Amino acid sequence: MGRGYIVDDSVEKYLVSLQTASLSSLTGLLIGQSLPQRDFVVLAVQTPQKAKSESDPSERKPVHSLCDIDTEWVTQHAKQVSWTLPGGLSVLGVFLITPPDLEKEAQNTLRRLVFSVEKLISKGRLWSLNEDDVSERVGLHICSKTRRAVCRTFDVQDAKSSAKPADWKYQHGVSDSWLVLKCSVELHVRFPTPDITLENLEKSTKVSLQKWGNQIESSICLVNGVRVSSDSELISGQKKNTKAFPSNLRAQILIHNVRKEVRTCASVQVCGGVLALRGVVHCRAYIHSNKPKAKQAAEALKRDIMNTVSYRTEMFFEDLLMSEADGERGILGQKQPLPQRVFASVPGAGFCVCDYMFPDEGTAEVKERLKETLDCDIPEEEVDLTQEVIAGELLLDLTDSLGGGGNPIDPLFNLKYICLCWTVGGNPHKHGNHTHTPHKLSRGCTSTTSRNPAIHTVLQCHLHLCSFYSLCQII
């Protein structure tokens, strides 16, 4: 008996719809949560068509050989998909739908795809695998005629491993009732660099991010304000009453300030410039509610923190390189925002996916991109922009004056300030359904959320700062 895959029946529906839609071969990805005991599959996504065939879909010829499958295209897609996944969810493997005559070839193709997908996804990761991580990935073959599904797993750690049979079982409601751990992480990372050529910037960024990542990896995670021991269950004591399940858990990350005693003097690096990454990223991890272990939840959240930062810097440099290739000098400005993370809940599922929005983009682009990568329709207004706030100059200047030394911060000042930020950034109310939620502000005035929450939040922020400044003066 191999690994067991518990698959949401929505995945079955989706796969069936693909089988009926085309008679040719088709690839796609399987997404879900991998746990030591079993995997939960909650989403299947077909590989999008390449642009040229899209121009004339009717001309799509039946594929007679699986050699036509573009491995690079599939792996690139897998990478795009993994960028849209919050913590706890990952690409678990590949599916392949072929006509019966190609069945024999399918196993080899699946193997090739599974290995190369894994290779690309794990590249540039800031975290390392631990003993609980499962190195088996799934390869699902479906015959387009008989609809027979054959599920096998490949050990991606072992290049010579052979396929093992696995159990593929559909179940209702696998993608409901997920627990979510949320937190916003403040970044303050500096990347000293020998000079500010793009190449060196990228390199130095990677080096410093890795160090930062190690800190996050070894950090302490508190859930709902309590440190959870590694082997305990995520929610103890509340199991009996599953109805009152707290699906939303507040996570806190505490970083160890470790003493290093190897050196006798400070390290000195001759630099031509420094990049600093500052700001707050919103992170999430989804955990299946079937006896979740605290350790896995914390691990998933930490990985999300590391991933979201590394994805964004990667995107950012990719973007710079592209504009450099376009002839523009890919030099970055004094202050440059990284792409903003936005969330959207998957229709009919208990979890969200995310996307990264460049400053010049809007929700329409997000919708389009999610449609393309995840093959699911998410209404534009379902896109939640509020988890991360692009702040105006005022806020940044204040950040500078607070963070860069100067006067010790008055405790009262902080208290007010935390209140303020909490109301602005940390309050996860839904904007999708357009009810004008009354939004209580820290100084008693109320406001309603407008159609564009992002702008509104910034406005609130400014409003608050003003009131706050006057408050300071009063004090």
Partner 1 sequence: MVVEKHVMFRVRGGLDFTCQLDRTDESYVKQTLGKAFESVRSAVRSPSLVFGVQNSPVFLWPNRSLQATRQGVTENTTCRELQQHIQINEGDSGKRSSKKKDKKDGTTSIINVDLLTEVTEPVLCSAPMLFRQEGKHHFVKMKLPADCVVSAHMDETIGDVCTHLVEALCTQLTNMEEVVLRHRSGTSLPIPEPFHFLLPEPVGLITAVYPAGVPDTQLEPVRKELHRRLELPDDRSCMRRANAYHFPDEPYRDGYLRSPHLALNHPSLEGTKLYLVQGIYSYHHYMQDRMDDNGWGCAYRSLQTICSWFQQQGYVERVVPSHKEIQQALVDVGDKPASFVGSRQWIGSIEVQAVLSHLLGITSKILFVSQGSDLATKGRELANHFSTEGTPIMIGGGVLAHTILGVMWSETSGEIKFLVLDPHYTGGEDLQVITDKVWVTDLKPRLHFSVKCKLSCDIVVFVKTMSYPTLTCLSRAGVVGRGRTSGTNGPTTTSACPSDQGPYEVGCDIIVMSLTPEDQLHFTRIIMCLNKHTRHFKKKFYFLSVKNCIQHA
Could you tell me the smallest distance in angstroms from the CB atom of residue 451 to partner 1?
20
Please state, in angstroms and rounded to a whole number, the distance separating the CA atoms of residues 355 and 342. Answer: 5
Q: Which lies closer to partner 1 via its Cβ, residue 40 or residue 343?
A: 343
Please state, in angstroms and rounded to a whole number, the distance separating the CA atoms of residues 320 and 256. Answer: 34
Could you tell me the smallest distance in angstroms from the CB atom of residue 86 to partner 1?
16
Q: Which lies closer to partner 1 via its Cβ, residue 102 or residue 251?
A: 251
Please state, in angstroms and rounded to a whole number, the distance separating the CA atoms of residues 47 and 27. Answer: 6
Q: Which lies closer to partner 1 via its Cβ, residue 136 or residue 202?
A: 202
Q: Which lies closer to partner 1 via its Cβ, residue 129 or residue 255?
A: 255
Question: How, if at all, do strands 136-143 and 90-98 pair?
Answer: parallel
Could you tell me the smallest distance in angstroms from the CB atom of residue 263 to partner 1?
6
Could you tell me the smallest distance in angstroms from the CB atom of residue 133 to partner 1?
24
The token pair at 136 is 């088996």
Please state, in angstroms and rounded to a whole number, the distance separating the CA atoms of residues 373 and 85. Answer: 11
Encoded amino acid at 385, one letter: L
Q: Which lies closer to partner 1 via its Cβ, residue 58 or residue 257?
A: 257
Cβ contact 336:232 at 8 Å: no
Q: Which lies closer to partner 1 via its Cβ, residue 149 or residue 196?
A: 196
- Residue 459 CB neighbour total at 10 angstroms: 15
The token pair at 34 is 């991998």
Q: Which lies closer to partner 1 via its Cβ, residue 115 or residue 316?
A: 316
Please state, in angstroms and rounded to a whole number, the distance separating the CA atoms of residues 463 and 378. Answer: 32
Could you tell me the smallest distance in angstroms from the CB atom of residue 264 to partner 1?
3
Could you tell me the smallest distance in angstroms from the CB atom of residue 368 to partner 1?
21
Could you tell me the smallest distance in angstroms from the CB atom of residue 390 to partner 1?
5
Q: Which lies closer to partner 1 via its Cβ, residue 99 or residue 194?
A: 194
Could you tell me the smallest distance in angstroms from the CB atom of residue 340 to partner 1?
5
Q: Which lies closer to partner 1 via its Cβ, residue 234 or residue 309?
A: 309
Could you tell me the smallest distance in angstroms from the CB atom of residue 326 to partner 1?
20
DSSP 8-state code for residue 293: B
Type and span of the H or E element at 29: strand 26-34
What is the DSSP annotation of 117-163? Answer: HHHHHHTT-SS---TT---EEEEEEEETTT--EEEEEEETT-TTPPP
Q: Which lies closer to partner 1 via its Cβ, residue 139 or residue 279?
A: 279
Q: Which lies closer to partner 1 via its Cβ, residue 149 or residue 390?
A: 390
Could you tell me the smallest distance in angstroms from the CB atom of residue 379 to partner 1?
23
| CA max distance for the chain | 81
Comparing C-alpha atoms, which of 42, 125, 147, 37 is closest to residue 88? 42
- Secondary structure (H, E, C), 174-189: CCCCEEEEEEEEEEEE
* Non-local CB neighbours of 327 within 8 Å, separated by 6+ positions: none
Q: Helix or strand or coil: residue 428?
A: coil
Could you tell me the smallest distance in angstroms from the CB atom of residue 370 to partner 1?
19
* Positive or negative: CA dihedral 325, 328, 330, 336: negative
Query: What crossing angle do the helices spanning 453-474 and 393-403 adopt, rounded to 10°?
Result: 50
DSSP 8-state code for residue 96: E
